[in-house]
Chains A and B, each alone.
Chain A
Amino acid sequence: MNRLRQNSCFLSLLIAVISLGLLLIAVVLFFSAGGVCTNLLSPSPTPSPTPRAWIEGIRPIAELAMVKFRVVVEVQNERVPEDIRQHFGAKEQMLMLVYGTVKAGFDLDKMAENDLWTDGKRVQLTLPAPKILNVEPDNKRTHIVYYDKSWLVGHDITLEGETLQIADGKMRQEAIDAGILAQAEKFGKVYFENHLRSLGFTEVRVIIK
């Protein structure tokens, strides 16, 4: 009877140890998916030896950038799964602070031959309408302020790219709303008037289409 008791005791202990082991593995797996381990790690990004680059095109341009607006935009973006997981509050969310510059000016390539008229002393220049030349994100200052992902969803590799695209659009729109095109027009007129006078023309007319 004692032997039987000893055996069952040993068996119980063995099962308990195995159970605890399994429990430990399960807990680690469980929390790693939720990202608890991330906080314990301090990653050190290492790029691969040399980034591979190739050229897609070389384009001669003639754009005259007249004004730039520095813009900061705060964008929140999230991914919610379209299945049962959404009822459990499962989502991945991100808050980014995006810094950038919006530039406006003239695309001088759009000028036609008859947009420039002169008789030697007088000159008339017709410029195309000013436009947004580019939205340039400042990747040195742009950063993620807040990021969270519940353990029921995976990381969406398109989330940050999409957030940056939203930021680009918002920066562009904000610059337009703040009057960047009017500023570009004003500076463009002054710029060409000054330069054309420097070339010896006594009467200068700059018209913006």
Chain B
Amino acid sequence: MGNLGLSKLQAIALLLVVIASSICLVVVGIAIWAVEGGMLTTPTTPTLTPEWPTVVARPRDTATPTTTPGPSRTPVATPTLTPTSTPTPTPTPRVIVNNINALGRLETIQYVMQVIIDLEDQPGDIWEQIAGIDKLLLIATGEVVAGFDMRQVTPSNILVRGDKVTITLPQPKIFYSRVDNEKTYIYERQAGLLRRPDPNLETEARRLAERALLEWAKDHQIIAKAEEMGRLYLDSFLRALGFTDITITTQRSSSTTPRDPGSE
């Protein structure tokens, strides 16, 4: 100590300063960790939506055509849809519409489901093991919709003979699976002591949820249901048009496709 020009008392004082600053830093570190919510566990009360009421397909009876075609109609204003309120206003989001496609999809069945995704970053090496895991529990609500792509129905798929009609539909298919962002939430999030939560983990969990919804719907015969409901709907629609003998086939089940211009 003498070489540094410090007296013993000064050396001890210096050491005391070092110790005090160390303790302060430790306290600050622990405080920050505590502010973070102690490993970021923020349990929220899960609000499970009540069971979806099953809507019975509206069987439209054979229409009895009225003789006067022109009921007076008052034009109804197109409903203006307002977006969800934004609690934290930030600079106006930039939006780009980059593609417009014409569709002709008859959506006939909708499965509404919930899925729980438990996702975590497994420690890959010793350092990650020290840093700790990053995991989350996502409760996702979403829907899968299926039906018929009616653009594939051409005049050659429609055969009309008087009151008899035969329509060949394409195979029903799943149009989309979607995670409902309003009803989807993180139930629990945990991150290791030395780790900040990975912002991409939730995005990945949502992707997995969407995939899980799709798989689950496939396993529970959504295609068959879509076909059944599509047939029911078209049958009632065609009856309302005055057809009495209706045959609806799908390309999968019918070996022969009627060949007729169909505009008799």
**Residues in A lying within 8 Å of B, measured CB to CB:** 8-9, 12, 15-16, 18-19, 22-23, 25-30, 32-35, 37-38, 40-48, 51-80, 94, 101, 103, 105, 108-109, 113-114, 116-120, 122-124, 126, 129-134, 136-137, 139-140, 142-144, 147, 149, 151-155, 157-158, 160-162, 164-176, 178, 181, 183, 187, 191, 195-201, 205, 207, 209
Cα distance, A26 to B30, chains bound together (Å):
8
Cα distance, A170 to B95, chains bound together (Å):
7
In the complex, B245 has a CB within 8 A of chain A: no
30 contacts between A and B (CB under 8 A): A12-B1, A12-B12, A45-B119, A45-B198, A48-B118, A53-B212, A53-B216, A56-B49, A56-B51, A56-B112, A57-B111, A59-B52, A60-B55, A62-B233, A65-B103, A105-B103, A105-B105, A117-B65, A149-B196, A153-B35, A154-B36, A157-B186, A157-B189, A160-B199, A170-B93, A174-B97, A195-B150, A195-B153, A197-B263, A200-B262
| Size category, B interface | 35 or more
**B65: nearest residue on chain A (CB-CB)?**
A118
Q: Would A65 and B107 be within 8 Å (CB), given that A118-B241, A172-B83 are in contact?
A: yes
Contact with B95, one of A8, A41, A155, A171 (Cβ below 8 angstroms): A171
Cα distance, A8 to B207, chains bound together (Å):
63
**A139: nearest residue on chain B (CB-CB)?**
B207
A22 touching B201, Cβ below 8 Å: no
Interface residues of chain A: helix, strand, loop or mixed (majority): mixed
Cα distance, A155 to B35, chains bound together (Å):
10
A22 touching B26, Cβ below 8 Å: yes
B201 touching A43, Cβ below 8 Å: yes
A164 touching B181, Cβ below 8 Å: yes
**B90: nearest residue on chain A (CB-CB)?**
A76
Q: Which residues of the partner chain B approach A174 to less than 8 Å between Cβ atoms?
A: 95, 97
B78 touching A181, Cβ below 8 Å: yes
B209 touching A51, Cβ below 8 Å: yes
4 shortest interchain CB distances as A-B pairs? A57-B52, A169-B83, A29-B29, A26-B25
B196 touching A67, Cβ below 8 Å: no
Contact with B160, one of A27, A65, A160, A199 (Cβ below 8 angstroms): A199
Cα distance, A162 to B86, chains bound together (Å):
8
Q: Would A140 and B69 be within 8 Å (CB), given that A69-B99, A123-B241, A166-B93 are in contact?
A: no
B93 touching A29, Cβ below 8 Å: no
Cα distance, A54 to B203, chains bound together (Å):
21
Cα distance, A161 to B42, chains bound together (Å):
15
Cα distance, A42 to B201, chains bound together (Å):
12
Q: Which of A77, A124, A155 has the most CB of B within 10 A?
A: A155
Q: Which residues of the partner chain B approach A113 to less than 8 Å between Cβ atoms?
A: 60-61, 63, 240
B195 touching A41, Cβ below 8 Å: yes
B196 touching A37, Cβ below 8 Å: yes
Cα distance, A9 to B240, chains bound together (Å):
103
Q: Which residues of the partner chain A approach B200 to less than 8 Å between Cβ atoms?
A: 45, 143-144
Q: Would A158 and B106 be within 8 Å (CB), given that A38-B195, A147-B199, A169-B86 are in contact?
A: no
Write the nearest CB–CB distance from A15 to chain B, whole angstroms: 5
